[in-house]
Amino acid sequence: MHRPLRPAPLPQSSRPVRHTGNAHGNPRSTYPPGSMESLRIYNTLARDKQTFVPLQPGVVRMYVCGMTVYDYCHVGHARVMVVFDIVQRWLRTLGYGVTYVRNITDIDDKIIRRAVENGETIKSLTDRFIAALHEDADALGIERPDHEPRATEFIPQMLGMIEMLEANGYAYQGADGDVNYAVRRFAHYGALSGKSIEDLRAGERVAANDAKQDPLDFVLWKQAKAGEPADTGWDSKYGRGRPGWHIECSAMSCSLLGDHFDIHGGGQDLQFPHHENEIAQSEGATGQTFVNYWMHNGYVQIDNEKMSKSLGNFFTIREVLAQYDAEVVRFFIARAHYRSPLNYSDVHIDDARNALTRLYTALKDVTPDAGELDWSEPYAQRFRAAMNDDFNTPVAIAVLFELATEVNRTRDAAHARQLQRLARVIGLLVREPRVFLQQAAGAATEGALDAAAIEAQIAARTAAKQAKQYAEADRIRAELLEAGVALEDKPGGLTEWRRV
């Protein structure tokens, strides 16, 4: 008889956040009627798009693998956060009650090495980078997950699951003290990744280890090593040690969402072995199906090669945000379908900035009316259809551009409202247009003119025009344009500016 893994009491840092609006305080729009039944999600396990049917009507439980906090987050992490932020936003827009869990790995070999190198405690290191993670995520308009469990807060649950695996015949302790998972004893191993045991054995990725019964077996509990800092281990029936990476997510997800839940997400690189191992652990312990829908976002690439720290071809989020407006980066990520590769370059970010500028420009002189988002209107229906088709943000954003064209043509406040409200569903167009237009090109960029300097130049140009010194006025205008500032003369002698 398999014992269910009981939910753990929530640590204070994991208390749920009540979602009454988006990260910028905008109330959520009334969900489109009938849309729940039409949502389709590409399920990696089924290798097909499937109609989404939650385990409990009207309720979605979703877990996403978060970051290992020993360094600043990079653009690949930004993609995971933005993708699943949009997913949870759309699920809530459809009217689902969502419990969204995104974990933090705060004990790991890389963390230990970095802390030792720095001469600081594990907690000091991880607290610092968790704070940095939150700063980056907040800048990108990422809504906080309902629960953000830290691995170190769930050690008892991990040990409980390991004991269940041992009792069910899936775990054993090797001669070196490590507790391992016996991969061959789990009949469905490889179903998520499409890899058979024979294929894995033929291309064996794990070095031989006499303490393991099979080289494919993976560690559940690592025995503490001599000389390791005291804060890297916990006492257990298996001896002092720490959890393996894979068991962390199994224990946290099952503890907070139950043994069987709706959606599990993460980057494509986690499909194997991490998510494959999560399935083996969780189902081996509970005897139940672990997850119904598996979602994986594509890689971020640099020159068509996967971005990764191991290759050294990565940019941290804060490095990028020092040069580009955060909403531009969010837009850059959202305009690609989440399952496709995303090729990062300055050229692509510049193009995203120009495109987002076009949307904001449409709203600059047409104030949206105060009405609610009208889901029965044709543009909204097409936006909804795109989002219900496996969160197809490129098509949804194309609808926004069509609406922007209509706003520019008609100057209609109702169309402006639809444009603004639909964009805000996915966390875009969240600011007053002039605020964006005056900083979108990266006002923090070295050498950029600040607002006061620009206003002084505009005043000098106005004075030159009044004195009929038109050549001087033209010179100032050209000088500002060369500095990335475009001027627009409005009726009544007013001059507005924006960055280009």
Task: Give the pLDDT mean for 272-286.
Answer: 97
What is the predicted pLDDT for the residue at 309? 64
Summarised one tens digit per residue, pLDDT across range 445-490 is 556 788 888 888 888 898 888 888 879 888 989 988 888 888 888 7
**Which CATH code for domain 12-306?**
3.40.50.620
Decide if pLDDT at 142 tops 50. Answer: yes
pLDDT band per the 50, 70, 90 thresholds, residue 12: very low
What is the predicted pLDDT for the residue at 62? 98
Q: Which residue has the tokens 């800092």?
A: 229
Minimum mean pLDDT range among 25-34, 162-171, 454-463: 25-34
Contact 189, 197 (CB under 8 A): yes
How would CATH label the architecture of 346-436?
Up-down Bundle (1.20)
Stated pTM of the model: 0.88
Decide if pLDDT at 374 tops 80. Answer: yes
Binding residues for Zn(2+): 65, 249, 274, 278
Summarised one tens digit per residue, pLDDT across range 93-107 is 999 999 999 999 999
Binding residues for ATP: 309
What is the predicted pLDDT for the residue at 20? 39
What is the predicted pLDDT for the residue at 8? 38
Contact 69, 133 (CB under 8 A): yes
Binding residues: 65, 249, 274, 278, 309
Decide if pLDDT at 49 tops 90. Answer: yes
pLDDT band per the 50, 70, 90 thresholds, residue 31: low
pLDDT band per the 50, 70, 90 thresholds, residue 264: very high
Q: Which residue has the tokens 């409202």?
A: 417
Decide if pLDDT at 33 tops 60. Answer: no
Radius of gyration of the chain (CA): 26
Q: What secondary structure, in 3-state letters, does the chain show? A: CCCCCCCCCCCHHHCCCCCCECCCCCECCCCCCCCHHHCEEEECCCCEEEECCCCECCEEEEEECCCECCCCCEHHHHHHHHHHHHHHHHHHHCCCEEEEEECEECCCHHHHHHHHHHCCCHHHHHHHHHHHHHHHHHHCCCCCCCECCEHHHHHHHHHHHHHHHHHCCCEEECCCCCEEECHHHCCCCCCCCCCCHHHHHHCCCCCCCCCCCCCCCEEEEEECCCCCCHHHCECCCCCCEEECHHHHHHHHHHHHHCCCEEEEEEEHHHHHHHHHHHHHHHHHHHCCCCEEEEEEECCEEECCEECCCCCCCCCEHHHHHCCCCHHHHHHHHHCCCCCCCEEECHHHHHHHHHHHHHHHHHHHCCCCCCCCCCCCCHHHHHHHHHHHECCCHHHHHHHHHHHHHHHHHHCCHHHHHHHHHHHHHCCCCCCCHHHHHCCCCCCCCCCCCCHHHHHHHHHHHHHHHHCCCHHHHHHHHHHHHHCCEEEEECHHHCEEEEEC
pLDDT band per the 50, 70, 90 thresholds, residue 132: very high
Strand partners, 316: 74
In 130-145, which positions are buried (b, 16+ CB within 10 angstroms) versus exposed (e)?
Answer: bebbeebbebbbbbbb
Distance, in Å, from the CA atom of 14 to the CA atom of 145, rounded to the nearest integer, reads 9
